[in-house]
Amino acid sequence: MATPAKATLPLCFWLPLSGSREDALHLVQYKSTTKAILACTQHFSEHDGIHSSRSITDWPSHFIYYLKHIFPNGTRGILASYTLDDDTHFSAMDHVWVVDIVLDALAGIHDCSKEELWALCPYSFVKNWGHDPHSMGGFTFFTPFQLVEYAKDLSQPEGWVYFDGEHMALPQGWIDMAIKSSLRAAKSIHSAAGLVEGQEPGM
């Protein structure tokens, strides 16, 4: 099953999970993250020589990523704010308020008016991973010694139930690791079912 550790806790299993896995699921630490994304019809950052890069600011936006990809309709995305544990102020705000704040930061950085940016970037999306009922957090962030103590318990199957997710491969927090752990779980399932190459079914 492909669920984040925290999202596994409310689930009911026909056979109870082992005590060590329950402990690991309860105690593993997750980072809370908030992202504010803008879709802009004009690439205003190029006037400042920015085509694809990252800005770090002491504005509430914190990290700003200028994305390189241009969509077929000519729009380009900007990750106008990426905050980690310091995102609590954003998590208390509604969508319009967050976008208003990140546009303030962009206007200050690029020396243009916020009204101009509103017109150039009419589409926006704000994602607070701590509020997502399917993930209940952004990504795994093991505290010291948690990796040694809990990694094995998190990755081991429970009978015929196999687990995968970014918290079961290194480095945590990347979609690549979610894919890696999924492939590993699929291989283990095929091996247990006798479906690996050169092995007879049922062996």
Tens-digit pLDDT profile for residues 175-185: 888 899 899 98
> Do 97 and 146 fall into the same domain?
no
Domain that holds residue 185: 19-29+142-192
Express each pLDDT in 113-146 by its tens digit. 999 999 999 999 999 988 888 888 888 888 888 8
What is the rounded CA–CA span in Å between residue 36 and residue 101?
Answer: 10
Backbone φ, ψ for residue 195 (5° rounding): -105, 5
- DSSP string across the chain: -B--HHHHTT---SSPPPHHHHHHHHH--EE--EEEEEEESS-GGGGGT-SSEEEE-SSTTBEEEEEEEE-TTS-EEEEEEEESGGGHHHHTS-HHHHHHHHHHHHHHHHT--HHHHHHH--EEEEEEGGG-TTTSSSEE-PPTTHHHHHHHHHHS-BTTB--BSGGGSSSTT-HHHHHHHHHHHHHHHHHHTT-STT--TT-
User: What are 58's two structure tokens?
Assistant: 């002491």
pLDDT for residue 201 is more than 70 = no
User: pTM here?
Assistant: 0.77
148 Cβ contact partners less than 8 Å away, ≥ 6 residues apart: none
**pLDDT cut 70: percent of the chain above it:** 92
> Do 160 and 125 fall into the same domain?
no
Express each pLDDT in 138-169 by its tens digit. 888 888 888 888 888 888 888 888 888 888 88
The predicted structure's pLDDT at residue 64: 93
The predicted structure's pLDDT at residue 51: 66
Nearest of 111, 110, 106, 89 to residue 98 by alpha carbon: 89
Q: What is the mean pLDDT of the chain?
A: 85
Spatial contact of 167 and 147, defined as CB atoms under 8 Å apart: no
> Do 148 and 124 fall into the same domain?
no
Mean pLDDT of all residues in 181-191: 89
Residue 77 lies in a domain: yes
The predicted structure's pLDDT at residue 183: 92
Q: How many domains does the chain divide into?
A: 2
Residue 2 lies in a domain: no
Residue 126 lies in a domain: yes
Express each pLDDT in 81-109 by its tens digit. 999 876 668 888 899 999 999 999 999 98
> Do 107 and 57 fall into the same domain?
yes
Sign of the CA dihedral running 124, 87, 132, 139: positive
pLDDT for residue 203 is more than 50 = no
